[in-house]
Amino acid sequence: MTVKIGLIGLGMIGRDHLKRFHNVISGAQVTAVCDINREATDAVATEYGASAFYDAVEMINSELVDAVFICTIGPAHKTQILAAFTAGKPVFCEKPLTPTADESKEIIDAEVKAGKRLLQLGFMRRFDPGYQALKQSIDGGELGDILLIHCAHRNPSVPDSYTLEMAINDSATHEIDIIRYLLNENITSVRVDKPLKKTSRALIHLQDPLIVIFETESGVRIDDELFVNCHYGYDIRCEVIGENAIVALTEQQLVSKRSLNGNAQHISQSCMERFTTAYDREVQHFIDSVRGGLEMSGPSSWDGYVVALVCDAGLASLKDGKKHDVLLPQQPALYRF
């Protein structure tokens, strides 16, 4: 069976996924594309032999589509996800689930009512071989009790539209999710530190870098450096400190070059480059679930909701610099494994 995909949102990540469907993914074909930009939609539809739609709900309900792939901006997600649920079609949604926790709660309620998981959320780091190896070490017990985690999230630069808040609810979301995944426990508090100095490369409205401190249920303390105008590359670091051993993500390149200029390794320049394998695997995972008639698995709506709640605490701390507790509601049975 070839899964007929309707892809909504033809921005950077949408187009990246389109290429992935075309070149890498097996068992699926993008049969419909949708964007509010008609010209762009028509051009992409012609290039990929797909039907063009300009209205997401119309596309979701079309018989041309078995499963929905959402790559639009966060504020558009809720309506599109709920429309897909109503149509009974499985959904892949890029992060964030929704920009606010209240909207995410509506999605949780609808999915719980449907009685089965219908959505896989695009927290691609869970599919990254490096993070998976970290998790294996932690779960295997070789580190002993985990005490600290040091993270760094460095982007070479961000567009002018990037706001101060996005450091939390657009960038740090990835660390918030991966910490829960690595440790199998929830974050209980967040504090955002604004260092006195900032890079001259950041726009005036930004505080860059920022340091975010998280604590978890068992007391693990995590520091996350968010440096989104670091200039030199897209660099994601994670070092887990246990009482018996320390494990860390390594450089991602398979070779290094020795020359008159010394010993050099290429550094990725974008998330699409750094996480290519993770993106390929998460999308194939989604397609395999749909083809197998399976309930959705991998990052869930609940994970998106929890991340949104942690972000809310982070945004409050961004304003007052204080530590904010994260209060989580009871997790519905649907999301327990």
Interacting residues with ligand ISE (CB under 6 A): 155, 170-171, 174, 228, 271
The Cα 317–Cα 212 span in angstroms is 9
What DSSP assignment string belongs to 13-28?
HHHHHHHHHHHT-SSE
Closest CB 123 distance from ligand ISE, rounded Å? 9
CB of 194 to ligand ISE, least distance (A): 18
Return the DSSP state at 78.
H
Closer to ligand ISE at the Cβ: 3 or 168? 168
Q: Tell me how far apart the terminal alpha carbons of the chain are, to the nearest angstrom.
A: 28
Q: Which is nearer to ligand ISE, 155 or 317 (CB)?
A: 155
Shortest CA distance to 166 belongs to which of 228, 220, 222, 217?
228
> CB-wise, 34 or 271, nearer to ligand ISE?
271
CB environment 84-96: b (16+ within 10 A), e (fewer): bbeeebbbbbbbb
Minimal distance in Å, beta carbon 228 to ligand ISE? 6
- Give the residue with the Cβ less far from ligand ISE, 50 or 228: 228
From the list 95, 97, 96, the residue with the least C-alpha distance to 111 is 97
Question: Shortest approach of ligand ISE to residue 197 CB, angstroms?
Answer: 20
Minimum separation from the CB atom of position 155 to ligand ISE (A): 5
Nearer to ligand ISE by Cβ, of 59 and 308: the residue is 308
Report the nearest approach of ligand ISE to the CB of residue 152 (Å).
11
Nearer to ligand ISE, 155 or 300 (CB): 155
Q: How far apart are CA 145 and CA 138, in angstroms?
A: 9
Q: Backbone phi, then psi, for 143, in 5-degree steps?
A: -85, -15
Q: Positive or negative, the Cα torsion across 105, 98, 8, 177?
A: negative
